[in-house]
Amino acid sequence: MRLAFTKTQATGNDFVVIADPDGAIDLAPEHIRQLSDRHFGVGGDGVIRAVRSKHLELGRDLLEIDPSAEWFMDYTNADGSVAEMCGNGVRAYAHFLLERGFTDFDADGMLAIGTRAGIKLVTRHELGYEVDLGRWRLAGGEPLVHADGIEVARPGLGLDLGNPHVVVALASAEELEDLELFSQPALDPVPPAGANVEFVVPLDPMVESGVGNVRMRVYERGVGETLSCGTGVAATALAVRHWAGVGAPNVWRVEVPGGVLGVRMLHGEDGEHVLLSGPASLVFDGEFDFTTG
């Protein structure tokens, strides 16, 4: 099998996008692992199959809720496991769809994209794009987290942003730098579906002109350490605001190894939403032959 692909990135979280408008391509986990391999394949933290929602059962359900959600983000982690949502991926995906003329914003400047975590609305933003990640919730309690480079296990905060996260506060920027994320941090108890684990430290000043400032590193479920994780960035801002208590900002700037992302929390009719903003770009196009390597 030989497939055309586009390599995309969003704050260094990188994705191989395969255009499959008619839902004709069956990507097995082994295909995903080959594409994602940085030595024998294209290389990426995940693979996005660009498919019209009408070709998937879940996509058809989403079309009943919002008929404008024409495109579905079929997201898979580099190890071949399926993920519900990807905050950087959805911006990269929107950019791909727009640049390649598959779709356009509606009259209100919105682009609705179907995901396994529901419909996400993307708009243009000064940083590139903003995506409304929707409702979020505290979940999974406070598992103890241990990672190489941290002397003692620390309690993390479990959050659900469509996909699972555990956010851990570290004591200093040095501790964040010394962290070794070559292997999966140990969680006790392990959340039922696993978790992406974010390590965070406040920047100085932590709040300036009403904007919160933090730095984080992430170990992504199904991938390993990545340069950025959009849903993880949103989870980080939500966790730090939770710890900071009453009066903490609803606008955050989050530094990750791959750049800077914005987060804001807004009240909608159905409760509080969290929104993520940041850049996205197309890197190169190519064709991959699955018989080589």
Binding residues, by number, are 13, 77, 87-88, 163, 196, 220-221, 230-231
For residue 86, indicate whether it is catalytic. yes
Instruction: Pick one of 80, 87, 114, 258: the residue that binds ligand LBFN2T5F (CB under 6 A).
Output: 87
**In whole angstroms, how close is the CB of 187 to ligand LBFN2T5F at the nearest point?**
14
HSE-CB of 170 using CA atoms within 13 angstroms = 25
Strands (E) located in 40-190 = 46-52, 71-77, 111-115, 118-125, 128-135, 137-138, 144-146, 154-160, 164-169, 186-188
From the list 58-66, 84-92, 146-154, 246-254, the region that binds ligand LBFN2T5F by CB under 6 A is: 84-92
From the list 82-90, 136-144, 146-154, 252-260, the region that binds ligand LBFN2T5F by CB under 6 A is: 82-90
Residue with tokens 């791909």: 96
Instruction: Pick one of 6, 9, 36, 77: the residue that binds ligand LBFN2T5F (CB under 6 A).
Output: 77
> Where is the binding site for substrate, in residues?
13, 77, 87-88, 163, 196, 220-221, 230-231
CA angle 266, 272, 277 (to 5 degrees): 45
Virtual torsion, Cα 79, 85, 89, 91, nearest 10 deg: 180
Tell which positions 176-235 bind ligand LBFN2T5F, by CB under 6 A.
Answer: 196, 220-223, 229-232
Instruction: Pick one of 163, 213, 236, 277: the residue that binds ligand LBFN2T5F (CB under 6 A).
Output: 163
| Ramachandran angles phi, psi of 241, nearest 5° | -60, -40
User: Rounded to an integer, what is the distance from CA 77 to the centroid of its chain?
Assistant: 11
Tell which positions 265-284 bind ligand LBFN2T5F, by CB under 6 A.
Answer: none
Strand, helix or coil for residue 42:
coil
For residue 229, indicate whether it is catalytic. yes
* 8 binds ligand LBFN2T5F per the rule CB under 6 A: no
CA angle 29, 32, 37 (to 5 degrees): 125
For residues 115 and 133, what is the distance between their CA atoms, to the nearest angstrom? 11
By CB under 6 A, name the binding residues for ligand LBFN2T5F: 13, 46, 77, 83, 86-89, 163, 196, 220-223, 229-232
- Annotated active-site positions, please? 86, 229
